[in-house]
Structure 1
Amino acid sequence: MNISLAVLGALAFANASPTVQVKAIAKRKSITDIFGSSQLTGAFIDLLKDVANIFKDRKGNAPKPIPSATSFKDWKAFKANGVNLGEGCVLMEKGIDPAFFNNNGAAAAEDEDSFCEILGDFKCGLLLKKRYLTYITKADIDKFAAYGVNLIQVPIGYWAFMFRQKGMHFHTGGQLLAFSRIAQYAISKGMHAIVDLHGLPGGQNGLDNQGKTGQIGWWHNDDNFEASITMVKRATDCINLQPNKNQFTFSVINEPLPALLQFGQTPDSFAYLNKYYNASLAAIRKKSSTLPVMFSDGFSGEQV
């Protein structure tokens, strides 16, 4: 289903009277005939409710003002007390939550890509969008704030910002809405947000936290390199469009160490990683002169 149809459905749901909403949900059986299971039907109806509530907030009560910093974060002085929202928020890792895979008909899946391959784009899309809107809630953010958390990290894959590559099965759509929803509420509670690119085109570490297990085709591949820089540009645009863009930091790669070990941590592999860092920084600086950019050392320490 096109996400725009879901949004239109949510708008209709939001504008309908409670009686009409109840009647709409009462048609669950006919919807189930389309989806093929009551579980997917529930996921779709709950998704409409959640999206409808977002629109209700926008057209209902005046939104609470979100505190805005006057400048970008100075990481030399910032004392972080942070929480990683994990691979389960807008990027799936089976090791984090195997029950999500096992209970949704994809027990054989190893990662997000095979999850969508087994279920098909339509079914996995419904389940993932439901997950995006419910895995991390306002109540969770409130708990973080109560414990003095002032930083969140949100892992996200390249397919949130561009079409998936040929041969991949990731579902594209819904991640950025969920990310913005989480980040803006966290910012309203005085937190800073790190956008953490966990999956790069071709795969940078071979682990399931990049979306596709066993794939390390990012390295020394010109097409994947250029696709990554395109993705970095689009992610930067996404941050710049946030109403509080100065409350974000951008991490451009996650855990390249396993792939570096695969290559024996040669000077060439470190040179390639640094090439990506330099190209990423140059692309970001053309769009923002002040956005903090975070680089990973791949757990390898400083390299001379």
Structure 2
Amino acid sequence: MRAFGLPSALVVAALLSTAIGTFAAPLSQRSPQANSTSALQEREGSPTNSMTYGSDESPKQAHFGRNSVVRGVNLGAWFVLESWQNPSLFLTQDIRSMQLNDEWSWMNAKGSKAQEDLVEHYRTFMNQSDFEAIQRAGLSTVRIPVPFWTFVPTVKPEPYLASRQRKALRDALTWSKQYGLDVVLDLHTVPGSVNGLDNGGRLGEQAFADDPNNAKRALNALSVMTDMFVNNASYGGVVKAIQVANEPKINERLSWSVLQDYQAAALKTIRAAIKPSAPVVPTVLFSDAFQPWSKYDALLPSDAYPTSQIAVDHHQYFVRAWDSRVPKDDDELIDYVCAIGPRIAAAQKKRAVIVGEFSLGRETRCVDYHTCQDVKMSQDVSTLNSAENNKFMRRFFEAQAASYEQGGGWIMWSWKTESAAAWSYSAAREQGWIPDDVSDPAQWLYRPADESQRKALPDGQCITTQPSRSPRFATQS
């Protein structure tokens, strides 16, 4: 998620072939033609397998965000550590006195103990009962953030634990198949990082473009991921989407056009890796990089990027510390949320838009993870569960769901946290801020039950001001 790191590059699109050509040169030496998506496609050539990808009618196309509404959760902090989300890992006795910002610094601080602790974390943080609970909650999808070092070896000085995530990841897909959940495999980190955030592995590093091998390694990770989990029929085709990069930050080190070159190469890589025997052809998710969706209209023409093949991933947070435009007033914030729906609906007409991250948080929690030392979830809930705020939180969730379902759907961040209730779907559901089963229209309190009721709402509103019945919450302070 974008939340808890500090923004700190230029993404260079490396080709799968050994002849990198102009992409290996410094940006100042490259021609506009060499940096264009069309030039990259021309140099790469066509996919090597025989599968037909261009037809929207292909029965193997996942059509993620098109065939049915997406309602899901992220399995954050399982394979990519975030100190605010699982502070206990950062507060063990041997490192408690340190200030560690990310997985890079955590690995270096833990030294020889890192492998033992991480493998245990992978084994225990999520288990089969979580996937069963996700299904009972009426959710359809899990988005699984995974780091590049799951699929390709690390290089010095990268301290990460390579490949040891695979067993737990295999379990995740097996359980997803068992409980009928779709999976988004999200390459949450790439070599060098495209955003400089802690969720990229190393806070302050945005060096993806510094070495063209970074792009080659990222593409290789996508290829291995695809072969390992898309081509393996034993998983039953649960992988419905693959995301090629998380939250790239457009700045002086990452231009929009160069990001597009990488995304084009990633699409080609994934397509080339899928075997004709694969049960499903997953949709490829491109981050909007917090840029206007209109950019995709010009840069992703449907003839080169059929709508069956790609979708746009948008992350939407309402934390004033990040965006001063977010209203302070509760009712104004609900209106602000509802206004997003029509914009998503308009974009959805061109290609699927998935809100791949959002939360109920209006403020950050545990940014300095030391402040959450030994804080229990119930203690955090008690700071948010006044009678008035309980009702607001339920309205806030229902308004976001109503808006985002005007597009392809939503995936909340995250299924669980240790002590940040507004960022934990499971804790929010237990408290009553989220319906127990979001697939049951009868359980919604503020959201219109059908199209006729929705049309009866005043202009600009996406939920009612009064609940359909008295809400019930687990606790109230």
Give TM-score scaled by structure 2 length: 0.46
* Cα separation, 1, equivalents of 2:234 and 2:188: 24
Find 2:271's aligned residue among 285, 290, 293.
285
Per-residue deviation, residues 245-279 of structure 1 (Å, max 9, x unmatched): 6210211100002xx1354x7xxx11111111111
Q: 1:104 to 1:238 in 2, by over 3 A?
A: farther
Question: Is 1:144 matched up with 2:114?
Answer: no
Report which of the two structures shows the higher radius of gyration computed on alpha carbons. Answer: 2
Contact 1:72 1:246 in 2 (8 A): no
Find 1:256's aligned residue among 248, 261, 264.
248
Shift of 1:167: 0.9
Q: 1:242 to 1:157 in 2, by over 3 A?
A: farther
Q: Match of 2:192?
A: 202
Give TM-score scaled by structure 1 length: 0.70
Task: Show the 5 A alignment for 1:95-110.
Answer: 95-103=84-92, 105-107=94-96, 108=98, 109-110=100-101
- Which deviates more, 229-238 or 124-133? 229-238
* Cα separation, 2, equivalents of 1:72 and 1:285: 12
* Cα separation, 2, equivalents of 1:161 and 1:287: 14
Per-residue deviation, residues 50-105 of structure 1 (Å, max 9, x unmatched): xxxxxxxxxxxxxxxxxxxx84522212211101011x211111121222111253
Q: Match of 1:66?
A: none
Contact 1:220 1:272 in 2 (8 A): no
Contact 1:158 1:197 in 2 (8 A): yes
Task: Show the 5 A alignment for 1:23-62.
Answer: none
Question: Is 1:74 matched up with 2:60?
Answer: no
Q: Match of 2:174?
A: 184
Shift of 1:164: 1.3
* Cα separation, 2, equivalents of 1:119 and 1:242: 38
State the aligned residue count.
227
Contact 2:61 2:282 in 1 (8 A): yes
Q: Match of 2:288?
A: 297
Task: Show the 5 A alignment for 1:259-270.
Answer: 260-263=250-253, 269-270=255-256
Q: Match of 1:58?
A: none
* Cα separation, 1, equivalents of 2:131 and 2:82: 21
* Cα separation, 1, equivalents of 2:252 and 2:196: 10
Question: Is 1:276 matched up with 2:262?
Answer: yes
* Cα separation, 2, equivalents of 1:123 and 1:104: 12
Shift of 1:242: 5.7
Find 2:235's aligned residue among 241, 244, 253.
244
Tell me the amino acid that sits aligned with residue 272 of structure 1: V
SS of the residue 1:278 aligns to: helix
Per-residue deviation, residues 219-265 of structure 1 (Å, max 9, x unmatched): 364121122112221111222236226210211100002xx1354x7
Contact 1:205 1:255 in 2 (8 A): yes
Tell me the amino acid that sits aligned with residue 235 of structure 2: N
Contact 1:116 1:170 in 2 (8 A): yes
Gap runs ≥5 in structure 1: 1-69
SS of the residue 2:204 aligns to: coil
* Cα separation, 1, equivalents of 2:232 and 2:93: 35
Contact 2:152 2:163 in 1 (8 A): no
Contact 1:89 1:135 in 2 (8 A): yes
* Cα separation, 2, equivalents of 1:154 and 1:99: 21
* Cα separation, 1, equivalents of 2:292 and 2:186: 20
Tell me the amino acid that sits aligned with residue 97 of structure 1: N
Tell me the amino acid that sits aligned with residue 284 of structure 1: I
- Which deviates more, 205-214 or 233-242? 233-242
* Cα separation, 2, equivalents of 1:230 and 1:190: 29
Tell me the amino acid that sits aligned with residue 247 of structure 2: E
* Cα separation, 1, equivalents of 2:142 and 2:220: 25
Structure 1 stretches of 4+ moved >4 Å: none
* Cα separation, 2, equivalents of 1:104 and 1:183: 34
Shift of 1:283: 1.1
Q: Match of 1:153?
A: 143
- Flag the structure with more relative contact order, 1 or 2, with Cα contacts below 8 A and sequence separation at least 6: 2
Aligned alpha-carbon RMSD (Å):
1.8
Shift of 1:132: 0.5
SS of the residue 1:213 aligns to: coil
Per-residue deviation, residues 19-73 of structure 1 (Å, max 9, x unmatched): xxxxxxxxxxxxxxxxxxxxxxxxxxxxxxxxxxxxxxxxxxxxxxxxxxx8452
Gap runs ≥5 in structure 2: 1-58, 299-477
Tell me the amino acid that sits aligned with residue 242 of structure 2: F
SS of the residue 1:142 aligns to: helix
Q: Match of 2:470?
A: none
Q: 1:94 to 1:232 in 2, by over 3 A?
A: same
